[in-house]
Amino acid sequence: MIKSYLKTAWRFLLKNKTFSFINIIGLATGTLCCLYILLYVQDQYSYDKHHKDVNNIYRVTTDLELTGDKHHSAASSPPITPAMKSDFAEVMQFTRVTNTEGFGAKQHLLRYKEKSFYQQEAVYVDSTFFDMFSYHFVAGNVSKVLTEPYSLVLFKPVADKLFGKEDPMGKMISIDNSFGKHDFKVTGVVDESLGKTHVHASMFMAMNSGGLGEYVRQNSNWAGNNFLYAYIKLRPDASAAALEKKLPEFLNKYGAAQLKEIGMKKVLYLQPITTIHTTSGFEHELTKTLDPSFLYILILIAVLIQVIACINFMNLSTARASKRAKEVGVRKVIGAGQIDLIKQFLGESFLLALIGVAIALPLLILLLPYLNQITRTDIHLSFFTNYRLWIMLLSLVLVTGLVAGSYPAFYLSAFKAIKVIKGNFTSHISAAGIRRSLVVFQFVLSIVLVTGIIVIYSQLNYIKNKDLGFDKSQKLIFNFYTNGTQSKMPVFTNDLKALADVKAVSNADNYLGQFVPHDHGVYLAGGNMATATDAQNINTDENFVKANGITLISGRDFRQGDSSRVLINETLAKRLGLNLQTAVGTRLYTKYEPNPVTFVEVAGVMKDFNYNSLHSEVKPFMLVYDGRQSDFNNIIVATNSSNYKVMLKKMEAIWHKDLPEVPFEYSFLDTEVQKQYETEITLSQIINSFTMVAIVISCLGLFGLAAFSAEQRSKEIGIRKVLGASVSGIVGLLSKDFLKLVMVALVIATPIAWWGMSKWLQAFVYRINISWWMFALAGLLAILIALFTVSFQAIKAALMNPVKSLRSE
């Protein structure tokens, strides 16, 4: 029986090549996109699930409130997890991780023999790190790799780059950064072949290796210093929720005095590590995370694309019902029941879905590099080890076949045998009405997606062109990552100032558009730290305001030789209750144990500017004058060059003169600022690409329906032409019905698109207003696309010889 169904289905596909081609291409394209998106989403949700005892591992996160400012931080203070292991029997083990970027060591100069290069993503970790987290060790003994001081585990690509074919084990390499120059012993090499993890690092340095690691080990601050990532492993029978309830009393036991002194409220939470990569909203994440709503949007797009392809199948199948009506009648007369016919037509649908998957798979393999480029990831197909891939493929065939074939199967099988043999093809179900509804649904989806593209593009364009309060154009950033290179900054700065194209050069410990790791609580005379306002700050020289184009509302800029002077922004002045015009000269006090009370004097008030992402509002901020320049590791260069190629060659020549052993590297400030919106840019690229696919699939179906409509009305067209109808009149006649459907789709899609994009825009404090023209443009594009698609078939029908069509009828 099944063999008979397959034979019949295959013959029907061969006999109706246009119908089959449109359906197969539509299903293959939809399946390709749907499968890739599902693989991408699966990849993002797979982070950290490979670790041994993963369900018992938690990260300690922190909620802070200081003078009204609330922070939801992924980090915590150094002494917390060691004390948790000591105090709670439920805690089997702890480990801590701290990256170096927030402490000025963004890059590390690695040297081995004659090889040297800069490397990012280095972390200090406790010796227990690899006991808790599972990595595949290419070389080394997992139980001993980080027990010795100055021991080091390398990520395999870094080891390969540094050692080539040499065995790295036991080799000594030099690591030079802002903490100094030290020799480290390679005790292990790992890769991520077991699975991806949010603790993605190029090298893991033992915590007992001086510098930042030793600062962590000796730190006893329970209130501040929330800069490291702390993890605990619970016993299998322990409850995370029960332990979490004990943490307020635990924190009060050790940190009550410190918290009271600075007026901070602090709450600790336990976060399962499997949720870290797909949870947004935390400040100070170790690596980039994904907003789950982003993944929900992708899944929705995948479903919509596949539904659009299924709709094509339904529409074309019911449109060609008259071609198969007699077949149904004959089969019923010779004894076939409705269930048998349903099985037959569903079988055809499953066959088409299977063919679609068979075509989609090699296309996916071919297009995988391009798709990975769009989503900025590195998905690989593994047919032999990834059983989920086969589950996805089988599910796609079954769901697509069932969804696409269910309505045609029930519709065709419902024909009455006697009526169809006599030529009466009517059914109790309105096929034309269903087809029109499905076409409207297709274009509702397409218009919603097109509107999404327009709104996202408008928001990104707004971000790109918004006045941030400082000038990000024509700014070069030079970073100095080692003590040796930092000592050469004054010489390099002076040489740059001699260039004609350079307007200003400033030295600082950070630059705008980057995470600001430093903050201080400040208060006015008569106050204390319990009432202090927390202000983020950057240490600078006297040229920072000029180099960045920052506007002063009152007071003056820094001068060389200033001491204990600050420039505050409007927000900080208002929080402190200061008048913007008379704030100059006001003393701001701060105190952190064990240091005595210190003060700084306000030299000027800056107009508010967005030194961080537009996702968040402007917070209290100040620039602190630092005449010693001991912590400076960035140079900001303002230029007015019309020929960057020539100017950069001159700068490179100066660099090699002043720093002959260090690679010449630079970046543009506007590019660094734009990196804050990588997720939005990626989302835009994905929606752009897959919306085009959805529109193409919709057009395929519309093309098929237009061809069918022209075929069904060929006699009418012939008569109209004989009676003098023009080609344009006939094209309009055949097109107007479809254009009406697009207009209905626009009316339905507009409120849906408005609601969805309003939700998305809420992630930005600074955002565009959704305007009527966005929906009008999306609708116009849909109308033009539909008109172009339908007109092709309409013009073809209108140009046919009427004598031929009338004679054939």
Give tens-digit pLDDT for 193-213.
898 999 989 999 999 888 888
Q: What is the mean pLDDT of the chain?
A: 82
Tally Cβ neighbours within 10 Å of residue 736. 11
806 pLDDT exceeds 60? no
Q: What is the pLDDT of residue 543?
A: 92
Give tens-digit pLDDT for 372-408.
888 888 888 776 666 777 787 787 778 777 776 666 6
Query: What phi and psi values does residue 231 have, to the nearest 5 degrees?
Result: -130, 145
Output the CA torsion sign for 49, 52, 58, 60: negative
Contacts of 588 (CB under 8 A, 6+ apart): 522, 523, 524, 566, 568, 576, 599, 600, 601, 602
The whole-number average pLDDT for the span 130-144 is 89
Contact 273, 48 (CB under 8 A): yes
Distance CA(633)–CA(267), nearest Å, equals 34
Q: Calculate the CA 540 to chain-centre distance.
A: 33
422 pLDDT exceeds 60? no
The whole-number average pLDDT for the span 597-613 is 87
Closest CA to 311 of 704, 707, 779: 704
Q: What is the pLDDT of residue 325?
A: 56
95 pLDDT exceeds 60? yes
pLDDT class for 428, splitting at 50, 70, 90? Answer: very low
The whole-number average pLDDT for the span 216-222 is 88
Q: What is the pLDDT of residue 552?
A: 93
pLDDT class for 417, splitting at 50, 70, 90? Answer: low
Give tens-digit pLDDT for 689-710.
887 887 777 777 676 666 666 5
Give tens-digit pLDDT for 614-666.
777 888 999 999 877 777 888 999 998 878 888 999 999 999 999 887 888 88
Distance CA(179)–CA(109), nearest Å, equals 12
The residue that leads in pLDDT, 260 or 231, is 231
pLDDT class for 429, splitting at 50, 70, 90? Answer: very low
H or E segment and range at residue 308: helix 292-319
Q: What is the pLDDT of residue 267?
A: 93
The whole-number average pLDDT for the span 117-131 is 90
The whole-number average pLDDT for the span 436-442 is 78
Query: What phi and psi values does residue 423 have, to the nearest 5 degrees?
Result: 100, 5
Give tens-digit pLDDT for 142-194.
878 998 999 999 999 999 999 988 999 999 999 888 777 889 999 999 998 89
pTM of the model: 0.78
215 pLDDT exceeds 70? yes
Contact 379, 315 (CB under 8 A): no
Q: What is the pLDDT of residue 809?
A: 46
Give tens-digit pLDDT for 236-271.
999 999 999 999 999 999 988 888 877 788 999 999
797 pLDDT exceeds 50? yes
589 pLDDT exceeds 60? yes
799 pLDDT exceeds 70? no
Distance CA(434)–CA(442), nearest Å, equals 12
Of 55-59, 190-194, 724-728, give the range with the top mean pLDDT. 55-59
The residue that leads in pLDDT, 749 or 8, is 749
Q: How many CA atoms lie within 13 A of 712 on its CB side?
A: 13
Give tens-digit pLDDT for 499-511.
988 999 999 988 8
Contact 188, 142 (CB under 8 A): yes
776 pLDDT exceeds 60? yes
Alpha helices per DSSP H over 46-109: 80-87
What is the residue-wise DSSP string for 367-401?
A: HHHHHHHHHTS-----TTT-HHHHHHHHHHHHHHH
CA distances from 334 to 110, 337, 595 (A): 82, 9, 98
